[in-house]
Amino acid sequence: MGTWQASLVSEGIIVFFDSDCQMCQGALRWLNRIDAHDRLLFAPLGGETAKEWGISNEDDSMAVVRNGETFRASEAARLAFGEAGGMGKVIAGVLKVIPFSLRDWGYRWIAKHRLALVKTESCGIPEEGMREKLLD
């Protein structure tokens, strides 16, 4: 199974997320739905894949690895949306025109308050078609 996972990672983009956050899980489900080319892979910040890439869950609620390079905060979100395609490209385009410092400030504010902003009892079980894109 390791070879299969390694080949997927070399061609895909890994989106690391806070698996305890309902907002993050909702964003991942949406990204999965609009990922027309199945390029996105998903991994929890506290999982083995995150450890292998040296990604910590202490500073951000999201990170993206593309072509071996790690992006964090608002740039990670912008890349994830853009790589998913469809409406995600529109969102990525809007984010790109916002000055980086303002965009990152907004991202960090939302990340800091995300657990209080979304209160739901919904389950974090992946939806159909997402399970094969989940890394540990």
- Domain of 104: which CATH number? 3.40.30
Q: Give domain status of residue 134, yes or no.
A: no
Mean pLDDT over 17-29 rounds to: 85
Asked if the structure places residue 128 within a domain, the reply is: no
3-state helix, strand, coil in the chain (%, to 5): 55, 15, 30
- Which token pair is 73? 């905060």
Kindly state whether residue 108 falls inside one of the protein's structural domains. yes
Q: Residue 126: inside a domain, yes or no? A: no
67 domain residue, yes or no: yes
Condensed to tens digits (0 to 9), the pLDDT of residues 43-98 reads 999 899 999 999 987 766 799 999 999 999 999 999 999 999 999 999 999 999 99
133 in a domain, yes or no? no
Any domain includes 105: yes
Q: Determine the structural domain holding residue 10 and report its residue range.
A: 2-118
